[in-house]
Structure 1
Amino acid sequence: MHVIGDKSRLAFATSPYEDHDTSSALTVDIFVGGRTLTLRDNIAYVPGFTCAMEYAVRYYAKSIDWLLPDPAIDGMNLPEAHLYYYHNDRSRTCFDWGPTTDDISSFLIPYNDTIYLTYFLYSENPDHETNLPIIRGEKLHYLEFLSTIYRQWKLMQEYNTSIVGSQVIVEELIVPRSIDRHDSVVTPEESAEPRDGPESPNRPFDNG
Protein backbone atom coordinates (compact mmCIF):
# COMPACT_ATOMS: atom_id res chain seq x y z
CA MET A 1 0.00 0.00 0.00
CA HIS A 2 1.09 3.56 -0.71
CA VAL A 3 0.43 5.66 2.40
CA ILE A 4 0.48 9.46 2.24
CA GLY A 5 0.11 11.46 5.44
CA ASP A 6 -0.28 10.44 9.07
CA LYS A 7 -3.10 7.99 9.78
CA SER A 8 -3.51 9.43 13.27
CA ARG A 9 -4.30 12.81 11.69
CA LEU A 10 -5.04 12.74 7.92
CA ALA A 11 -3.85 10.11 5.47
CA PHE A 12 -4.63 8.14 2.32
CA ALA A 13 -3.71 4.49 1.71
CA THR A 14 -3.82 3.48 -1.96
CA SER A 15 -3.33 0.03 -3.41
CA PRO A 16 -0.34 -0.25 -5.80
CA TYR A 17 -1.31 0.26 -9.42
CA GLU A 18 0.83 -2.75 -10.28
CA ASP A 19 -1.97 -4.82 -8.73
CA HIS A 20 -4.53 -3.32 -11.11
CA ASP A 21 -2.80 -3.34 -14.47
CA THR A 22 -5.97 -4.19 -16.40
CA SER A 23 -8.44 -2.08 -14.43
CA SER A 24 -9.24 1.61 -14.07
CA ALA A 25 -10.28 1.11 -10.43
CA LEU A 26 -8.24 0.62 -7.28
CA THR A 27 -8.71 0.98 -3.53
CA VAL A 28 -8.25 4.26 -1.65
CA ASP A 29 -8.77 4.41 2.10
CA ILE A 30 -9.09 7.77 3.87
CA PHE A 31 -8.05 8.16 7.50
CA VAL A 32 -8.89 11.03 9.85
CA GLY A 33 -7.87 10.96 13.50
CA GLY A 34 -6.92 7.28 13.30
CA ARG A 35 -10.31 6.18 11.94
CA THR A 36 -11.06 4.80 8.48
CA LEU A 37 -13.73 6.79 6.65
CA THR A 38 -14.06 4.47 3.66
CA LEU A 39 -15.26 1.26 5.33
CA ARG A 40 -18.39 1.12 3.19
CA ASP A 41 -16.71 1.69 -0.18
CA ASN A 42 -13.00 2.17 -0.84
CA ILE A 43 -13.08 1.45 -4.58
CA ALA A 44 -12.04 4.50 -6.60
CA TYR A 45 -12.54 4.90 -10.35
CA VAL A 46 -9.17 6.43 -11.13
CA PRO A 47 -10.04 9.08 -13.77
CA GLY A 48 -13.05 10.42 -11.86
CA PHE A 49 -11.36 10.37 -8.46
CA THR A 50 -8.26 12.07 -9.88
CA CYS A 51 -10.34 14.80 -11.49
CA ALA A 52 -12.33 15.43 -8.30
CA MET A 53 -9.12 15.71 -6.29
CA GLU A 54 -7.68 18.13 -8.85
CA TYR A 55 -10.60 20.50 -8.47
CA ALA A 56 -10.28 20.30 -4.69
CA VAL A 57 -6.55 21.09 -4.81
CA ARG A 58 -7.18 24.00 -7.17
CA TYR A 59 -9.83 25.45 -4.91
CA TYR A 60 -7.91 25.13 -1.63
CA ALA A 61 -4.68 26.44 -3.18
CA LYS A 62 -6.40 29.43 -4.78
CA SER A 63 -8.88 30.60 -2.14
CA ILE A 64 -8.45 31.53 1.51
CA ASP A 65 -12.19 31.63 2.17
CA TRP A 66 -12.11 28.21 3.83
CA LEU A 67 -9.53 29.52 6.35
CA LEU A 68 -11.44 32.63 7.41
CA PRO A 69 -13.59 32.84 10.55
CA ASP A 70 -17.30 32.47 9.88
CA PRO A 71 -19.63 34.69 11.97
CA ALA A 72 -22.48 32.29 11.18
CA ILE A 73 -21.07 29.71 13.62
CA ASP A 74 -20.08 32.08 16.43
CA GLY A 75 -20.99 30.52 19.77
CA MET A 76 -21.43 27.02 18.33
CA ASN A 77 -19.39 23.99 19.29
CA LEU A 78 -17.90 21.83 16.53
CA PRO A 79 -20.78 19.31 16.20
CA GLU A 80 -23.24 22.22 16.05
CA ALA A 81 -21.10 23.95 13.42
CA HIS A 82 -20.93 20.75 11.36
CA LEU A 83 -24.71 20.38 11.42
CA TYR A 84 -25.15 24.05 10.57
CA TYR A 85 -23.05 23.62 7.42
CA TYR A 86 -24.75 20.33 6.60
CA HIS A 87 -28.16 22.00 6.57
CA ASN A 88 -27.27 25.49 5.34
CA ASP A 89 -23.93 25.76 3.54
CA ARG A 90 -22.22 22.95 1.62
CA SER A 91 -19.43 25.20 0.31
CA ARG A 92 -17.12 24.01 3.10
CA THR A 93 -17.59 20.33 2.26
CA CYS A 94 -14.27 18.50 2.29
CA PHE A 95 -14.55 15.01 0.77
CA ASP A 96 -16.83 15.27 -2.26
CA TRP A 97 -15.01 13.00 -4.65
CA GLY A 98 -17.59 10.63 -6.08
CA PRO A 99 -18.90 7.23 -4.89
CA THR A 100 -15.78 6.50 -2.81
CA THR A 101 -16.65 9.37 -0.46
CA ASP A 102 -20.46 9.28 -0.67
CA ASP A 103 -20.68 7.76 2.82
CA ILE A 104 -18.88 10.74 4.36
CA SER A 105 -20.37 14.02 5.54
CA SER A 106 -17.31 16.21 6.11
CA PHE A 107 -16.49 19.89 6.50
CA LEU A 108 -13.46 22.10 7.03
CA ILE A 109 -14.48 24.32 9.93
CA PRO A 110 -12.58 27.45 11.03
CA TYR A 111 -12.67 27.26 14.81
CA ASN A 112 -10.69 29.17 17.47
CA ASP A 113 -8.15 30.45 14.93
CA THR A 114 -7.48 27.02 13.47
CA ILE A 115 -9.06 24.47 11.11
CA TYR A 116 -10.91 21.30 12.08
CA LEU A 117 -11.81 18.56 9.63
CA THR A 118 -15.10 17.18 10.96
CA TYR A 119 -17.08 14.21 9.71
CA PHE A 120 -19.77 11.64 10.31
CA LEU A 121 -20.53 8.50 8.30
CA TYR A 122 -24.04 8.00 6.94
CA SER A 123 -23.70 4.23 7.31
CA GLU A 124 -23.03 4.64 11.04
CA ASN A 125 -25.85 7.16 11.45
CA PRO A 126 -28.81 5.98 9.34
CA ASP A 127 -31.18 8.14 11.41
CA HIS A 128 -29.02 11.28 11.23
CA GLU A 129 -31.95 13.41 10.06
CA THR A 130 -33.91 12.74 13.26
CA ASN A 131 -31.17 11.95 15.79
CA LEU A 132 -27.86 13.67 16.46
CA PRO A 133 -25.15 11.83 14.49
CA ILE A 134 -21.79 10.92 15.99
CA ILE A 135 -19.55 13.68 14.69
CA ARG A 136 -15.79 13.36 14.96
CA GLY A 137 -12.94 15.57 13.86
CA GLU A 138 -9.27 16.42 13.82
CA LYS A 139 -7.42 19.69 14.27
CA LEU A 140 -5.07 20.28 11.33
CA HIS A 141 -2.56 22.89 10.26
CA TYR A 142 -3.74 24.20 6.90
CA LEU A 143 -0.38 23.43 5.24
CA GLU A 144 -0.52 19.87 6.54
CA PHE A 145 -3.96 19.50 4.98
CA LEU A 146 -2.89 21.06 1.66
CA SER A 147 0.31 19.05 1.45
CA THR A 148 -1.46 15.75 2.12
CA ILE A 149 -4.22 16.14 -0.45
CA TYR A 150 -1.76 17.58 -2.99
CA ARG A 151 0.57 14.58 -2.72
CA GLN A 152 -2.37 12.18 -2.96
CA TRP A 153 -3.62 13.96 -6.07
CA LYS A 154 -0.17 13.68 -7.68
CA LEU A 155 -0.12 9.96 -6.89
CA MET A 156 -3.55 9.53 -8.47
CA GLN A 157 -2.30 11.33 -11.57
CA GLU A 158 0.52 8.80 -11.86
CA TYR A 159 -1.95 5.95 -11.41
CA ASN A 160 -4.26 7.38 -14.03
CA THR A 161 -1.45 7.51 -16.57
CA SER A 162 -0.26 3.98 -15.75
CA ILE A 163 -3.68 2.31 -15.64
CA VAL A 164 -5.76 4.23 -18.15
CA GLY A 165 -2.87 5.26 -20.39
CA SER A 166 -3.69 8.96 -20.56
CA GLN A 167 -3.96 12.08 -18.48
CA VAL A 168 -7.34 13.07 -17.10
CA ILE A 169 -9.16 15.49 -19.38
CA VAL A 170 -10.69 17.70 -16.72
CA GLU A 171 -13.42 19.36 -18.74
CA GLU A 172 -14.89 15.98 -19.72
CA LEU A 173 -15.39 14.80 -16.16
CA ILE A 174 -17.86 15.73 -13.45
CA VAL A 175 -16.95 18.59 -11.14
CA PRO A 176 -17.49 17.91 -7.41
CA ARG A 177 -20.81 19.34 -6.26
CA SER A 178 -19.25 21.69 -3.70
CA ILE A 179 -16.75 23.34 -6.08
CA ASP A 180 -17.66 25.90 -8.73
CA ARG A 181 -15.87 25.03 -11.98
CA HIS A 182 -15.80 28.65 -13.13
CA ASP A 183 -14.05 29.76 -9.94
CA SER A 184 -11.30 27.16 -10.31
CA VAL A 185 -8.99 28.63 -12.91
CA VAL A 186 -5.57 28.17 -11.31
CA THR A 187 -3.99 24.79 -11.95
CA PRO A 188 -1.97 23.10 -9.20
CA GLU A 189 1.11 23.28 -11.42
CA GLU A 190 0.85 27.08 -11.32
CA SER A 191 1.21 27.02 -7.55
CA ALA A 192 4.28 25.82 -5.71
CA GLU A 193 3.83 22.45 -4.07
CA PRO A 194 2.85 23.19 -0.46
CA ARG A 195 5.41 22.12 2.09
CA ASP A 196 4.48 20.32 5.27
CA GLY A 197 3.55 22.87 7.92
CA PRO A 198 4.34 22.66 11.61
CA GLU A 199 2.21 20.13 13.39
CA SER A 200 -0.55 21.50 15.55
CA PRO A 201 -1.51 19.73 18.78
CA ASN A 202 -3.38 16.52 18.14
CA ARG A 203 -6.82 17.30 19.52
CA PRO A 204 -9.45 15.05 18.02
CA PHE A 205 -12.99 15.33 19.28
CA ASP A 206 -15.91 12.95 19.37
CA ASN A 207 -19.44 13.81 20.45
CA GLY A 208 -20.35 10.11 20.71
Structure 2
Amino acid sequence: MLFTLIMYLFIVKAQETVLVPENYVLWTFNYPFSIHILLYPFLLIIGLFEVLTKGPRKRRTRKSSRFSTKKKYFVVAVCGGNILLLYVIFFGVRVITNEKVIDYSSLHPQGNEYSYEEVTNVHTGVHGKGSYRPFSQQTRRFFYEIELANGKTIDLMEVGNVANNEHEYFAIEELDHEFVNRGIPKVSSMENVDNQNEYLDCRKIVLL
Protein backbone atom coordinates (compact mmCIF):
# COMPACT_ATOMS: atom_id res chain seq x y z
CA MET A 1 0.00 0.00 0.00
CA LEU A 2 2.83 2.40 0.89
CA PHE A 3 4.67 1.50 -2.31
CA THR A 4 1.51 2.21 -4.34
CA LEU A 5 1.16 5.61 -2.68
CA ILE A 6 4.82 6.47 -3.29
CA MET A 7 4.59 5.45 -6.96
CA TYR A 8 1.36 7.43 -7.37
CA LEU A 9 2.90 10.59 -5.89
CA PHE A 10 6.06 10.14 -7.98
CA ILE A 11 4.13 9.77 -11.25
CA VAL A 12 1.80 12.69 -10.47
CA LYS A 13 4.75 14.94 -9.60
CA ALA A 14 6.55 13.93 -12.81
CA GLN A 15 3.43 14.59 -14.89
CA GLU A 16 2.95 18.01 -13.33
CA THR A 17 6.62 18.95 -13.79
CA VAL A 18 6.89 17.89 -17.44
CA LEU A 19 3.41 18.38 -18.90
CA VAL A 20 1.64 21.10 -16.91
CA PRO A 21 2.42 24.79 -17.69
CA GLU A 22 2.73 27.40 -14.95
CA ASN A 23 -0.52 29.18 -15.88
CA TYR A 24 -2.71 26.10 -15.40
CA VAL A 25 -6.02 26.23 -13.53
CA LEU A 26 -6.30 22.49 -13.01
CA TRP A 27 -5.29 19.27 -14.71
CA THR A 28 -7.10 15.98 -14.90
CA PHE A 29 -6.41 12.30 -15.43
CA ASN A 30 -7.59 10.90 -18.74
CA TYR A 31 -10.12 8.11 -18.05
CA PRO A 32 -9.91 5.13 -18.63
CA PHE A 33 -6.12 5.38 -18.61
CA SER A 34 -6.29 6.88 -15.13
CA ILE A 35 -7.07 3.44 -13.66
CA HIS A 36 -3.66 2.20 -14.87
CA ILE A 37 -1.97 4.28 -12.20
CA LEU A 38 -3.51 1.88 -9.67
CA LEU A 39 -2.41 -1.23 -11.56
CA TYR A 40 1.13 -0.13 -12.37
CA PRO A 41 2.73 -0.67 -8.92
CA PHE A 42 1.46 -4.26 -8.82
CA LEU A 43 2.87 -5.07 -12.27
CA LEU A 44 6.13 -3.42 -11.27
CA ILE A 45 6.32 -5.56 -8.12
CA ILE A 46 5.72 -8.72 -10.18
CA GLY A 47 8.46 -7.71 -12.61
CA LEU A 48 10.95 -6.94 -9.85
CA PHE A 49 10.12 -10.19 -8.08
CA GLU A 50 10.78 -12.24 -11.23
CA VAL A 51 14.00 -10.40 -11.98
CA LEU A 52 15.43 -10.55 -8.45
CA THR A 53 14.41 -14.11 -7.54
CA LYS A 54 16.48 -16.70 -9.39
CA GLY A 55 16.15 -19.60 -7.01
CA PRO A 56 18.87 -22.16 -6.13
CA ARG A 57 21.29 -23.27 -8.85
CA LYS A 58 20.58 -26.74 -10.22
CA ARG A 59 22.21 -29.02 -12.73
CA ARG A 60 21.26 -27.69 -16.14
CA THR A 61 19.06 -30.08 -18.13
CA ARG A 62 17.11 -29.73 -21.35
CA LYS A 63 13.88 -29.39 -19.36
CA SER A 64 15.28 -26.82 -16.95
CA SER A 65 16.74 -24.94 -19.91
CA ARG A 66 13.30 -24.70 -21.54
CA PHE A 67 11.84 -23.50 -18.25
CA SER A 68 14.59 -20.90 -17.92
CA THR A 69 13.90 -19.64 -21.45
CA LYS A 70 10.18 -19.30 -20.71
CA LYS A 71 10.99 -17.40 -17.54
CA LYS A 72 13.22 -15.02 -19.51
CA TYR A 73 10.40 -14.40 -21.98
CA PHE A 74 8.05 -13.77 -19.07
CA VAL A 75 10.46 -11.30 -17.47
CA VAL A 76 10.92 -9.49 -20.80
CA ALA A 77 7.13 -9.37 -21.30
CA VAL A 78 6.51 -8.02 -17.79
CA CYS A 79 9.28 -5.40 -18.09
CA GLY A 80 8.04 -4.38 -21.53
CA GLY A 81 4.46 -4.20 -20.24
CA ASN A 82 5.58 -1.98 -17.36
CA ILE A 83 7.37 0.41 -19.69
CA LEU A 84 4.39 0.60 -22.05
CA LEU A 85 1.94 1.04 -19.19
CA LEU A 86 4.05 3.77 -17.62
CA TYR A 87 4.14 5.57 -20.99
CA VAL A 88 0.34 5.39 -21.30
CA ILE A 89 -0.15 6.56 -17.71
CA PHE A 90 2.30 9.42 -18.02
CA PHE A 91 0.62 10.99 -21.05
CA GLY A 92 -2.93 10.36 -19.83
CA VAL A 93 -3.34 14.00 -18.80
CA ARG A 94 -5.53 16.94 -19.77
CA VAL A 95 -4.66 20.48 -18.69
CA ILE A 96 -7.02 23.44 -18.34
CA THR A 97 -5.25 26.82 -18.43
CA ASN A 98 -6.69 30.34 -18.37
CA GLU A 99 -7.13 30.29 -22.14
CA LYS A 100 -6.98 26.77 -23.56
CA VAL A 101 -7.32 23.03 -23.05
CA ILE A 102 -4.30 20.77 -23.66
CA ASP A 103 -5.09 17.12 -24.35
CA TYR A 104 -2.15 14.73 -23.95
CA SER A 105 -2.32 11.04 -24.83
CA SER A 106 -0.01 8.16 -25.70
CA LEU A 107 -0.81 8.76 -29.39
CA HIS A 108 -0.26 12.51 -29.10
CA PRO A 109 2.43 13.00 -26.43
CA GLN A 110 3.09 16.53 -27.71
CA GLY A 111 -0.47 17.46 -26.71
CA ASN A 112 -3.37 18.77 -28.80
CA GLU A 113 -4.40 22.31 -27.89
CA TYR A 114 -7.97 23.67 -27.98
CA SER A 115 -9.03 27.25 -27.31
CA TYR A 116 -12.07 28.03 -25.18
CA GLU A 117 -13.88 28.85 -28.43
CA GLU A 118 -13.64 25.13 -29.26
CA VAL A 119 -15.57 24.17 -26.12
CA THR A 120 -19.03 23.49 -27.54
CA ASN A 121 -21.01 22.26 -24.52
CA VAL A 122 -20.94 21.97 -20.75
CA HIS A 123 -22.80 19.20 -18.95
CA THR A 124 -22.96 19.02 -15.17
CA GLY A 125 -24.86 17.10 -12.52
CA VAL A 126 -24.58 14.14 -10.15
CA HIS A 127 -24.07 10.55 -11.27
CA GLY A 128 -26.80 8.05 -10.49
CA LYS A 129 -26.63 4.30 -9.98
CA GLY A 130 -26.49 3.51 -13.71
CA SER A 131 -23.41 5.60 -14.48
CA TYR A 132 -20.72 3.85 -12.46
CA ARG A 133 -17.21 3.55 -13.94
CA PRO A 134 -14.51 1.50 -12.16
CA PHE A 135 -12.02 3.57 -10.14
CA SER A 136 -13.58 6.78 -11.37
CA GLN A 137 -17.15 7.96 -11.31
CA GLN A 138 -19.05 6.75 -8.29
CA THR A 139 -22.76 6.78 -7.51
CA ARG A 140 -23.92 10.23 -6.38
CA ARG A 141 -20.63 11.79 -7.45
CA PHE A 142 -20.63 15.29 -8.91
CA PHE A 143 -19.41 15.64 -12.50
CA TYR A 144 -18.54 18.62 -14.68
CA GLU A 145 -17.93 17.70 -18.30
CA ILE A 146 -16.88 19.92 -21.18
CA GLU A 147 -17.26 18.81 -24.80
CA LEU A 148 -14.80 19.91 -27.46
CA ALA A 149 -15.49 20.61 -31.12
CA ASN A 150 -14.10 17.18 -32.11
CA GLY A 151 -16.62 15.46 -29.81
CA LYS A 152 -14.12 14.63 -27.06
CA THR A 153 -15.46 14.94 -23.52
CA ILE A 154 -13.42 15.89 -20.45
CA ASP A 155 -14.67 15.45 -16.89
CA LEU A 156 -12.99 18.15 -14.81
CA MET A 157 -13.69 16.15 -11.65
CA GLU A 158 -11.02 13.58 -12.60
CA VAL A 159 -8.67 16.02 -10.87
CA GLY A 160 -4.93 15.49 -10.72
CA ASN A 161 -4.17 18.83 -9.07
CA VAL A 162 -5.45 22.41 -8.81
CA ALA A 163 -3.31 25.55 -9.02
CA ASN A 164 -2.37 27.31 -5.77
CA ASN A 165 -3.82 24.42 -3.74
CA GLU A 166 -7.29 25.83 -4.37
CA HIS A 167 -10.24 23.55 -3.74
CA GLU A 168 -11.36 21.87 -6.95
CA TYR A 169 -14.95 23.10 -6.59
CA PHE A 170 -13.84 26.73 -6.43
CA ALA A 171 -11.63 26.29 -9.50
CA ILE A 172 -14.46 24.65 -11.45
CA GLU A 173 -16.88 27.37 -10.35
CA GLU A 174 -14.53 30.01 -11.80
CA LEU A 175 -14.23 28.05 -15.05
CA ASP A 176 -17.99 27.66 -15.13
CA HIS A 177 -18.44 31.44 -14.94
CA GLU A 178 -15.95 31.82 -17.80
CA PHE A 179 -17.72 29.28 -20.03
CA VAL A 180 -21.20 30.67 -19.30
CA ASN A 181 -20.06 34.25 -19.93
CA ARG A 182 -18.71 33.12 -23.31
CA GLY A 183 -22.16 31.86 -24.22
CA ILE A 184 -21.20 28.18 -24.25
CA PRO A 185 -24.40 26.10 -23.88
CA LYS A 186 -24.70 24.49 -20.46
CA VAL A 187 -26.95 21.58 -19.56
CA SER A 188 -27.47 21.06 -15.83
CA SER A 189 -29.04 17.78 -14.76
CA MET A 190 -31.03 18.15 -11.55
CA GLU A 191 -31.39 14.38 -11.18
CA ASN A 192 -29.71 13.06 -8.00
CA VAL A 193 -28.68 16.59 -6.93
CA ASP A 194 -30.83 16.43 -3.78
CA ASN A 195 -28.91 13.32 -2.73
CA GLN A 196 -25.54 15.08 -2.91
CA ASN A 197 -24.93 16.31 0.62
CA GLU A 198 -21.15 15.89 0.81
CA TYR A 199 -20.44 19.24 -0.86
CA LEU A 200 -22.91 22.09 -1.17
CA ASP A 201 -20.69 23.81 -3.76
CA CYS A 202 -21.67 21.25 -6.42
CA ARG A 203 -25.32 22.29 -6.14
CA LYS A 204 -24.31 25.90 -6.63
CA ILE A 205 -22.43 25.03 -9.83
CA VAL A 206 -25.31 22.94 -11.16
CA LEU A 207 -27.85 25.68 -10.46
CA LEU A 208 -25.80 28.52 -12.02
- Which category describes the TM-score, using the shorter chain as reference length? under 0.3
Q: Higher helix proportion, which one?
A: 2
* Structure with higher RCO (Cα < 8 A, 6+ apart): 1
**TM-score between both structures, scaled by the size of structure 1:** 0.25
**TM-score between both structures, scaled by the size of structure 2:** 0.25
